[in-house]
Structure formats: C-alpha cells, structure tokens
Amino acid sequence: MNDDTRLKEWFVPKFGPVRFRAFVGLLFIPYTGMCISFVMIGSILPNVILWDRVGAIALIYILALGVSAHAADGLGSRNVKPWGRYFSNKQLWMLIIIPLVTAYSIGFYYMIFYVPLLWIIAISEGFFVFVYNLELFNGYFHNDLWFAVSWGVLPLLAGFIIQTNSIDIMPVSLSVITGLVSYVEIKISRPYKDLKRLSQDEHREKRLEMWLKIISLGTIAFATASIICRLLFDHFVNI
C-alpha cells in the first residue's frame, strides 16, 4: 500500500504539511461528527435540557472517541495501521492518554455529583476505546456489530442519560436506529478503503464515497437542524 493513500481521503485537507494533514485525517472528522451528532440528538430528547451538560458530553466524545479512539486505531495491535505510519508510538500514546484523561475528568464531575448512571456508558466506552481499536482478545470485538454499539447506540444513550440520569423506551428505540446508521456506514467504509488502497475499481470507489458523504454529512445536518428546531421551540414556549 502506498504511504500517501489515506492522505487522498475526501475529508483530508489538500494543503499544509504532511503531519498536519495526517493528524486531520486521523480524526476522521465527518465520522466523528456522526458520533457527536448521535450524542446531541440524545441530549435534546428530554423535556428540560441542561445545556452545560450538552456541551460537556459532546466535548467528552470529541476527546475520547474523536481523538483517543482514532489514535488507538492508528496504533493498532497486530500491525501498524495506515495513519500510524505518520506518528511514532509515543506520539500516538500521548494522543490516546491525554484526551482520554481530560474526557474522564469532565465525566467524573457529572458522574459523581449528578449522573451516576453515566458510569455504565463511561466504563463501556472506555472498554471499546482499547479493546476495539487495539484489537485485543484476538480482535473478537473488532467487528461491525461492536462498532455499531460503541459508535451509534451508546453515544445517543449517553446524551440522554447525562440529562436525566435515567433511561426509557424512547432513547433506547432511537439508539437502535443510530446503531443501524453506524452499521451501514462501517459496512460501506471497509470495502471503500480496500478499493482506495488497491485502486481496482474507481467507479465503485466513487459510488461508495458518495454514500459515505451522504450518511456522515446527512447525519450531521439532521442533528444540527434538530438542535435549531429545539432551540426555537424552547424560545417560543418561554415567550
């Protein structure tokens, strides 16, 4: 595989030093945006919204999954992943540990004083950061199902739980939908990456890339519209 293959991804900037472009690519911003969108959707479901908690859970996921999990994936376990070629193991471990410690420090405040139920999400997601991305246990958890759980189901539940310290049928039902969206995204992403690496079928590669853009950017647009609608609704209700 050519070392610059991943630098040609559609979400990687075409300008700047190679290390900068690789770092932006490592973050998988559109797909991280999907995950944060699920968090935000879960956060605005309750009747009363505490906006500081919306910001807190979004920041937690940006740091823990957006940065730490992707750095762990770059490190890999059985072999160095493509993004890992641009950084040393020490640099990748710093990108794993520092954002993760920061994220859990924020989470501890809410879990200790306000939202003890969030411990379940924190422990589960922390488990997947290492076990999924470092392919521990012979890669048993490194598959599409567990990706959908950690990237789609748990984020929406986390958003709802940090607001209410409770769970009910509505967020659980919606988390199944966000899990399915994540499952479809990863199912498309894997053959897309193979095609891009091997340069075998440019037409199919472009078609899969189009679907990845639709799913990721569409999810972000939907979450953004939902937040705006919720803000407008609360504003007119309180007039």
Asked whether 19 and 25 are in contact (CB, 8 A), the reply is: no
Task: Give pLDDT, residue 2.
Answer: 46
Structure confidence at residue 77 (pLDDT):
56
Do the beta carbons of residue 165 and residue 180 sit within 8 Å? Answer: no
pLDDT recorded at residue 95: 95
Q: Is residue 147 part of a domain?
A: yes
- Going by C-alpha positions, the residue among 112, 150, 116 that lies closest to residue 133 is 150
From CA 65, how far away is CA 213, in angstroms rounded? 20
Name the domain count of the chain. 1
Residue 201 carries which DSSP code?
A: -
Q: Is residue 168 part of a domain?
A: yes
Question: In the prediction, which pLDDT does 93 show?
Answer: 94
Is 85 contained in some domain? yes
- Distances, alpha carbon 41 to alpha carbons 50, 78, 163, 196, 220, in Å: 13, 35, 12, 32, 10
* Inside any domain, residue 197: yes
Q: What is the DSSP string of 182-226?
A: HHHHHHHHHHHHHHHHHT--HHHHHHHHHHHHHHHHHHHHHHHHH
Residue-by-residue pLDDT tens, the chain, 239 positions = 445 667 888 999 989 998 899 999 999 999 999 999 999 999 999 999 999 999 999 999 999 999 999 999 888 755 556 677 788 889 999 999 999 999 999 999 999 999 999 999 999 999 999 999 988 998 899 999 999 999 999 999 999 999 999 999 999 999 999 999 999 999 999 899 888 877 777 889 999 999 999 999 999 999 999 999 999 988 788 77
31 within some domain: yes
Residue 1 lies in a domain: no
pTM of the model: 0.92
Amino acid identity for residue 90 in this structure: K
- Tokens 């059985």 belong to which residue? 78
Task: Please tell me the number of Cα atoms within 13 Å of 22 on its side-chain side.
Answer: 18
Tokens standing for 149?
């759980």
Task: Determine the structural domain holding residue 15 and report its residue range.
Answer: 6-237
- Alpha helix (H) residue ranges in 114-168: 118-131, 136-139, 144-148, 154-164
Q: Which amino acid is at 5?
A: T
Does residue 29 fall inside a structural domain?
A: yes
For residue 1, what are its two tokens?
């595989």
Give the pair of three-digit tokens for residue 114.
């306000």
